[in-house]
Amino acid sequence: MSLFIALLTKEEFSSLLNFGEIKIYYHQFTSFTNDNINENIHGLLLSTNYFEYAEEYVFVTYHYEESLRETKHEVKLEDIEKIYPLDDHSRRELENDFPDLKIDKPAFADTYRRYSDEVFNINIEKGVSAFREICGLDKDIYDKSILSKLHRGIDFRINSTKYFNIPIDQRDPISMLIAYDRFQSYSNDLIGYFFDAADICTFYCAKKIGDYVDPVFKKSPYYIVLENVSKYSRNLWIDQIQKSVESSEESNKYLEKANDTFGHVMLPVVFLYLRNIINEGKDFKSIEKNIMEVQKKFGDIFDDVSVLIGGFFGFKKFSTDLYYHKKLRIFKNVNLATTTINGDFMASKCDNPKDPLTGKSELTKDTSLENDINVQGGDETNIDTKSDMQGGGPDIKSQVGNNKKDVEDGNNISEGKDSGENVNNEELSVDKDKVISAFKRAVNNNQNKITLFTKIINEFGEKSVLSSSELNDVCKRIDDLKIATESQSKKFSGFLDDMKSGSIFNK
């Protein structure tokens, strides 16, 4: 009898316990007795499909008659000698899941860590290829020298080494850029990315280390330039801000330094911009539009930026978009416009600069409104439990049915036409002021809610009339915000229905 070691999935391990035996296949085991055990175990790990979490697998050692080894053999529970988790965390998990079992220390944790780093690096490079393919670039042909800097920057992030604390001798501008997070209170408009870029450039060029509570280039003439431009840059896109900044002679020294440092003065700006909008998980269509605009305006650096973006987020982030891009057979025919990058919608108001290109300032407003609602709800005593909806009352609800039907029969909502084009064709159009008055009645003049509601209405532009589809949008937004308390939700639904149908304005 010889000793072998096999790598089992947790499900296979459970099967071994439940049925007392398990089939082990050729690629799953190796001899446990030779001198190259770590290399063999590394080989076992590489022979599996990629996995993310150590607790998904477990090693078992077992005795078996070597002469009987075939491509597949059955091992019985009584032949198992030891159980080795892959790392400390999975050991604890196994102990919790199987409290009766003796779980050994993770004897091959270093080998697993090596494998895990390799998989992580593969994910980075697959991310580069995926993002480039989605962007219509060659997925394999790009400047590979940038990869090592990308890897180093990601390592800094994983180890929680902030950009300003990276040892001087380990710095390069790209890895600092990757490691960068904004800790200063720079503008939350697009010009904020110009401040970020100068911040990184200062730390790199001045060879300084450590955290500073004030911007490190505050005494620079370039800081004054950015402050001045920020006074009127709110509605400018990145290229327009760039022109404004470059038109000042005071910027020349910085521009020269930044060009030397990053290869192109706009590389950090464009990277941080794309990183932020992707991190926020805006719907794919809006991101695609931004990406196309970046490609159009900054084509000379987009090749490098695409490598940084793809690697920073990795394959998992872009996998779904890539599958749709490739029109894979197993995917339903979902309109790209309704999909999102990896379904990850984490929103962050603080890092949500306004983007005039796609009306992102409106989206910023959305977030703030939702935060308002949320934080208002955070204090239990701030929520009106009885008076919120009294103004809506049963009268509103009684009129829902007929009017709703009239609208659905008569207008273009069901055809999904664009609201802006269809205003004239729709039967219903209502003055904003009437909508607000109706809402006031519904919420019994609750000032907080009226303020929020008015903001939503005003986001539909300057015109004083709302179309049916705009009204529907308003209703959806209000419904999403969950302004009503649970006890009032039925009345509130009635109010929204009346809004959609227009019956509320007859009151």
Residues within window 323-352 making contact with another protein, judged by CB under 8 A: 342-351
Residue with the two structure tokens 């290869």 = 263
| CB contact at 8 A, 454 and 434 | no
476 near another protein, judged by CB under 8 A: no
| Ramachandran angles phi, psi of 403, nearest 5° | -65, -40
Candidate list 61, 202, 467, 469; residue touching another protein; CB under 8 A: 202
Helix (H) or strand (E) holding 84: strand 80-84
Contact mark string toward another protein, 228..267, x via CB under 8 A: -------------------------xx-xxx---------
HEC sequence for 163-178? HHHCCHHHCCHHHHHH
From the CB of 121, what's the least distance to another protein, in Å? 11
1 near another protein, judged by CB under 8 A: no
Distance (Å, rounded) from C-alpha 213 to C-alpha 184? 7
From the CB of 435, what's the least distance to another protein, in Å? 21
Indicate the burial class of 404 (C-beta count within 10 angstroms; 0-12, 13-18, 19 or more). middle
100 near another protein, judged by CB under 8 A: no
Contact mark string toward another protein, 384..423, x via CB under 8 A: ----------------------------------------
Q: Which is closer to another protein, CB of 63 or CB of 482? A: 482
Judged by CB under 8 A, the stretch of 27-35, 373-381, 399-407, 429-437 that binds another protein is: 373-381
| Ramachandran angles phi, psi of 107, nearest 5° | -65, -20
Number of residues located near another protein, criterion CB under 8 A: 88
From the CB of 60, what's the least distance to another protein, in Å? 18
Candidate list 20, 263, 378, 401; residue touching another protein; CB under 8 A: 378
Q: Which is closer to another protein, CB of 142 or CB of 203? A: 203
Residues within window 168-197 making contact with another protein, judged by CB under 8 A: 181-183, 185-188, 192
217 near another protein, judged by CB under 8 A: yes
* CA torsion angle 164 169 175 178 (round to 10): -20
Judged by CB under 8 A, the stretch of 59-67, 100-108, 199-207, 463-471 that binds another protein is: 199-207
Q: Which is closer to another protein, CB of 127 or CB of 502? A: 127
218 near another protein, judged by CB under 8 A: yes
| Ramachandran angles phi, psi of 22, nearest 5° | -155, 150
What the block records as the tokens of 64 is 């078996």
Distance (Å, rounded) from C-alpha 497 to C-alpha 411? 16
| Ramachandran angles phi, psi of 444, nearest 5° | 55, 40
377 near another protein, judged by CB under 8 A: yes
Distance (Å, rounded) from C-alpha 446 to C-alpha 444? 6
Q: Which is closer to another protein, CB of 371 or CB of 402? A: 371
| CB contact at 8 A, 106 and 82 | no
What the block records as the tokens of 221 is 């003439």
Candidate list 170, 387, 451, 464; residue touching another protein; CB under 8 A: 451
367 near another protein, judged by CB under 8 A: yes
What the block records as the tokens of 63 is 């005795």
